[in-house]
Structure 1
Amino acid sequence: MAQSLKFCYQFLVNNFFILLLIPLSIAILIKTMFTSPEEIMCMYNSMHLTSVHLLCASFVVVYILTLFVVWRPRPVYLVDYALFKPPRSYRVSFAGFIEHVRMGRLFSEPKSVHFQMKILERSGLGENTCLPPALHYIPPTPTMAMAREEAELIIFSAMDSLLQKTGIKPRDVDILILNCSLFSPTPSLTAMVINKYKMRSNIRSFNLSGMGCSAGLISIDLARDLLQRYPNSNAVVISTEILTPNSYKGKERAMLLPNCLFRMGGAALLLSNRRADRRRAKYRLAHVVRTHKGADDKSYGCVSQEEDSEGNVGIKLNIDLMAVAGEALKSNITTIGPLVLPASEQILFALSLFGRKIINFKWKPYIPDFKQAFEHFCIHAGGRAVIDELQKNLRLTNEQVEASRMTLHRFGNTSSSSLWYELSYIESKGRMKKGDRVWQIAFGSGFKCNSAVWKCNRTIKLPVEGPWADCIDKYPVHIPEVVKL
C-alpha cells in the first residue's frame, strides 16, 4: 500500500505540468473549433497592431534567441576513453604478497605481517591485481628511474590506445591535463607526454598533483572550464597514480593500509566541444559538483602523506576517515540533488530539511532516492568499506554497486582512474543505453568529495574493447566477507 501511494505521489508531482497542460490544451482546442474565422479576424483587428509593432516584436525575439545561443554553455562530450591493462607478469596473488612481505625485511615484524594479512582477507581484492616491477624485487627498489618507467608504461599505453580508438593526431590536441597525486617529477609528466608525442608548442598543459583519488573529476572540471573558454577545441585528460616511490616501509598500521589496497591503473580520455564530435561521442557531460571540507581540521588531516617515528614516508589514513567521507558526501548530495532529482524527491528532501531546522533537529534526515535520477552508479573503488558505506547511505542495490565491487576485485584501488574501469565494466556488460545517466562519485585527501554526471549519447554496442574484454564473462563473482589465507 505504501509503495502504491509513493508511486502515485511521484507520478503526480513529476508529471504535474503535463497533467495540467492536457486539459488546458483540450479546452483551447474546443474553444478554437467553435470560433469562426470572422471572430478571429475581429479579435486581431481590435489589438490595432501596426507594422512597427510587428517589427519591434520580431527584433526582440531575434535578440533573445541570439543571447541564448551566445551565452548558453557549450556542450562537452566524452568522445572515448582508454584504460591501461597491466601485463599478467605484474600480477600479485595473496600468497605472493604475503611471502614478499615476509622476505622483504621491511615488514618482518610478525605483527605487521599479520595485520596486512587481515587487511587482504577483508579487502575485496582478487588474485589478479598488479603492482609495478620495482615492488616485485626483494627488497623493493623504488628509484626515480623505475618510477619514470612505470609512468611511461601506464601513460603511454593508455595514450596510444586512445589515439588509435579516436583517430585523433597528437598535434591536434588543444588541451592536455594530467593528474597524479604522489609522483610529481621535473620535467612534469605532461612535459613527458608532450615530448613523447611531439605535440605542438602552443598546447595548454596542466599537471595536477597532491589532490588524491578524486583528482580525476577535478581534471574533468578543469577541462570543462577550458572548453567553455575556447570554442572548437578538444582536451585529453590522463588520470593515474604511480606506486613505485610510494610504498610504505615502516610498521605503523594506519600507513600500511594503502600498501594492501593500491594497485596499478591509468585512464586517458578525449573530451571535445566540437559539434562534429556530437554523433560519435559516447557521453555528454551534464554536471560536475565539487565539495571541499578542508576548512575543518579533522577533514584536512584524515588522509595525509607524512613520516612515521622512524622517518619512513607513507600515506596515513586516520580512523575517522569514513565519518569525514560521510559528511563530505552529505554536502555534495545537498548541492547535486536539486540539479538531478525529480520534483517529487526535491519536495520531500526540502520538507525534511525544513523540519530538522525549524521543528526538531533530531528528525531523521530524508535521503533522496537517487535511483530515480540515475541508471548507473560509479563509486570510487577505494576499498570495501567505502563501497559498503555508500551503498547503505544511498540505498543502492547490489547490482548498482556491482561495477565498483568488481573493479576493486579485478584491479584493486587504482586511485583516480578507478571510475573509468567501473564505467568500462558497465559497458562491457551491455548495460549502457542511449539516454542513460551515470553518476560518478570520488573521494580524495583534503578532504574532498566530487561528483560528475554523464548522459549516454549512444547505445554502447558489444563487444567493448578494453581491460575487461578477456574476463567480463567471469563476472560478477562472489566476494566472501573473509578470504582465509
Structure 2
Amino acid sequence: MSMFSMSFLFLAQSKSYTLSIIRDYLNTQILFKYSNIFSLLMWCASISYIVTFYQKKCSKKVYLVDFACYKPFPNGICSKELFIKQTKSGGNFKDESIDFQKKILDRSGFGDKTYVPESLLKIPQNISIVEARKETESVIFGAINDLLLKTKMKAEDIEILITNCSIFNPVPSLSAMVVNHFKLKHTILCYNLSGMGCSAGLIAIDLAKQLLQVHQNSYALVVSTENTNSGYYLGNNRSMLVSNCLFRVGGAAILLSNISSDSQRSKYHLKHTVRTHKGSQDTCYNSVFQKEDETNKITGVSLSKELMSSAGFALKANITTLGKYVLPLLEQFKFVSTFVVKKYFNNKVKIYTPDFKLCFDHFCVHTGGKAVLDEIQKVLGLSDFQLEPSKMTLYRYGNTSSSSVWYELAYCEAKGRIRKGDRIWQIAFGSGFKCNTAVWCALRNVDPIKEINPWSDEINEFPVDVSI
C-alpha cells in the first residue's frame, strides 16, 4: 500500500473516530438535558402531590363545631309593665316620653320575659362603666363557658378570638377581657369589633372565615353581644328613646374550625358570607347614629325615620349578590331580565323578587323589631312558619343585637327542625348602614333531646300568638 493510501486511510479512520466522539458527546448531552427535564418534572410532580395532600389534610372549609347562647338569670326578667314602672321611678323622663315608650313596647312584639341587667332594675337606674362591665362579663363568660362545656374544648386550644359589641368598648378591650379570664395563650390572634351595630356578629363570622383561610389547623372563637347599660338613654329625644325599649341582654359564643377531621363532629359548614355596606349614602349613614341630644347633651343612639328604607335598600343589594351563588338559573334569569327591562326600556316594570324559599330551609332574620320582621316577611314572601324562629326570639328575648340570629338558630334546633343537608340563611342589619348574611349547611341531624340551649326547658310553650 502506498504512502498516500495509508495516509488517506488514517485520515478516514481519524474522521470516523472524531465523528464517533462528537456523536457520543451529543447523545450524552441530550440524555443529560432530558434527564434534567425529567428530574425537574418529577420534582414538580412530587411538590404538587405534597401540596395537594397538605391542602386536603388542612381543609380550607370552615366548620361550625357548635355555638352557645347565654340565658340570663331569672332575676333579670323584666315585663313590659315593670319596664315602664322603672322608667317612671327614675325621674329622668317627661310624661309624654313615658307614654311614647309604652306605645313602642306595646307594638314591639315583646313578651313579658325579656331580660335587662340588674342595674336597670334599681331605683334609680345605675348607669356606669362598672355596671356595664359586670353585665358584659356575665354574658360573655357565661356563653363561652357553655360552649366549652358543649364542645369539650380547652380554652388554650383556641388560636383566633373575635369579639364584637357596638356600644360598650372599654380599655382593655373585650377580647383582652376574655384572654385574661380564660388565660388564653399569648400567641392568640385577637380582634375587637366596635360600632358596627347588630350585623357585627356576621361580620365577625366573615372575618373568622378569612383568617381560617390563612391559618391552617386552627380554632376560631367568635363572641357576639351588646351592652344594655351603656346604651341606655336618660333624655327625652324620641328618636333615642326607641333603643331603650327594644334592646335586651343577650350574647352568643361560636366555635369555628378549619380542621378537616372536625367535619365529623361539627354541626354546620359555612357556605357563603355576603357583606353589603351603604355608608356612602348619607341617609343610610345617618339612619343609626350615636350622638348627644339637642337639649341636655345626653348621649344616645338616634334611629331616624329613614331606617326602614335604608334596611330595604341594603337588603336588596345584598340578595342581588347572594343570588348569584344560591339561586336556580331560572330565578336568576327572571331577576336579570326584569332588571334590564326596567333600566333600559320601561321604568314602570317591577323588578322580580327571587324566590329564596327554593334555596333555604330555615330563615334567621335579625330581630330588629316587629316592623322590621313584617317588612322582611313581605319582601321575601316568607310564611309565618318560616319566620317563626325570628318572631319567637323577639317575643322571648327581645332584640339582643348581633347575637339574635343565634337564638333563632337555637330555636330551630330545639324544635328538632335541623336535618342533615338543610340550608340556613342568617340575615342581619347594622349601623353604617349594613346588611350582612351567612349561609350554612347542616352536616348532621341535630337531636333536640341531646341539645342544651336557652330554649330547651320551655320550647314546648312555643310558638305563641304575637298578633296585635
TM-score tier after normalising by the smaller chain length:
0.7 to 0.9
Partner in structure 2 of residue 426 of structure 1? 412
The total of aligned residue pairs comes to: 426
Amino acid at match of 1:342: P
Q: Select the residue among 211, 216, 225 that pairs with 1:231.
A: 216
Partner in structure 1 of residue 421 of structure 2? 435
Partner in structure 2 of residue 379 of structure 1? 365
Give 1:30-45 correspondences, 5 Å limit.
none
Q: Select the residue among 443, 460, 464 that pairs with 1:473.
A: 460
Shift of 1:480: 2.7
Partner in structure 1 of residue 25 of structure 2? none
SS at match of 1:216: helix
Measure, in 2, the Cα distance between the counterparts of 1:100 and 1:193: 32
Partner in structure 1 of residue 226 of structure 2? 241
> Does 2:340 align with 1:340?
no
Higher mean displacement: 65-74 or 238-247: 65-74
Q: Select the residue among 226, 234, 249 that pairs with 1:264.
A: 249
Shift of 1:62: 9.5
Shift of 1:361: 2.1
Q: Select the residue among 302, 309, 317 that pairs with 1:331.
A: 317
Partner in structure 2 of residue 417 of structure 1? 403
Shift of 1:71: 7.7
Shift of 1:358: 2.1
For residues 343 and 100 of structure 1, do their structure 2 counterparts lie closer, same or farther at Cα, with a shift above 3 Å needed? Answer: same
Shift of 1:175: 0.4
Measure, in 1, the Cα distance between the counterparts of 2:245 and 2:76: 15
Partner in structure 1 of residue 125 of structure 2? 140
Amino acid at match of 1:475: F
TM-score by length of 2: 0.88
CA contact (8 A) 1:289 1:451 kept: yes
SS at match of 1:142: coil
Shift of 1:64: 8.7
Q: Select the residue among 189, 207, 210 that pairs with 1:222.
A: 207
Measure, in 2, the Cα distance between the counterparts of 1:382 and 1:62: 54
Amino acid at match of 1:166: T
How big is each residue's C-alpha offset from its partner over 1:245-270, in whole Å with a ceiling of 9 and x where there is no partner? 22000111110001011000000010
Partner in structure 2 of residue 21 of structure 1? none
How big is each residue's C-alpha offset from its partner over 1:193-216, in whole Å with a ceiling of 9 and x where there is no partner? 111111110000111100000000
Measure, in 2, the Cα distance between the counterparts of 1:376 and 1:451: 13
Measure, in 2, the Cα distance between the counterparts of 1:69 and 1:132: 51
Shift of 1:94: 1.4
Q: Choose 1 or 2 for highest CA Rg.
A: 2
Partner in structure 1 of residue 263 of structure 2? 278
SS at match of 1:322: helix
Q: Select the residue among 310, 314, 317 that pairs with 2:303.
A: 317
Partner in structure 1 of residue 13 of structure 2? none
Measure, in 2, the Cα distance between the counterparts of 1:362 and 1:71: 51
Partner in structure 1 of residue 92 of structure 2? 106
Shift of 1:240: 0.3
SS at match of 1:182: coil
Partner in structure 1 of residue 341 of structure 2? 355
Partner in structure 1 of residue 178 of structure 2? 193
Shift of 1:106: 1.1
> Does 2:78 align with 1:92?
yes
Measure, in 2, the Cα distance between the counterparts of 1:64 and 1:459: 37
CA contact (8 A) 1:106 1:139 kept: no
Measure, in 2, the Cα distance between the counterparts of 1:67 and 1:164: 36
Measure, in 2, the Cα distance between the counterparts of 1:300 and 1:177: 25
Measure, in 1, the Cα distance between the counterparts of 2:188 and 2:47: 36
Q: CA RMSD in A?
A: 2.0
Measure, in 2, the Cα distance between the counterparts of 1:432 and 1:381: 20
How big is each residue's C-alpha offset from its partner over 1:8-40, in whole Å with a ceiling of 9 and x where there is no partner? xxxxxxxxxxxxxxxxxxxxxxxxxxxxxxxxx
For residues 386 and 66 of structure 1, do their structure 2 counterparts lie closer, same or farther at Cα, with a shift above 3 Å needed? Answer: farther
> Does 2:240 align with 1:250?
no
Amino acid at match of 1:295: S
For residues 166 and 440 of structure 1, do their structure 2 counterparts lie closer, same or farther at Cα, with a shift above 3 Å needed? Answer: same
SS at match of 2:315: helix
Q: Select the residue among 272, 281, 290 that pairs with 1:287.
A: 272
For residues 69 and 387 of structure 1, do their structure 2 counterparts lie closer, same or farther at Cα, with a shift above 3 Å needed? Answer: farther
Amino acid at match of 2:455: W
Runs (5+) with no aligned partner, structure 2: 1-40
CA contact (8 A) 1:176 1:190 kept: yes
Measure, in 2, the Cα distance between the counterparts of 1:273 and 1:71: 11
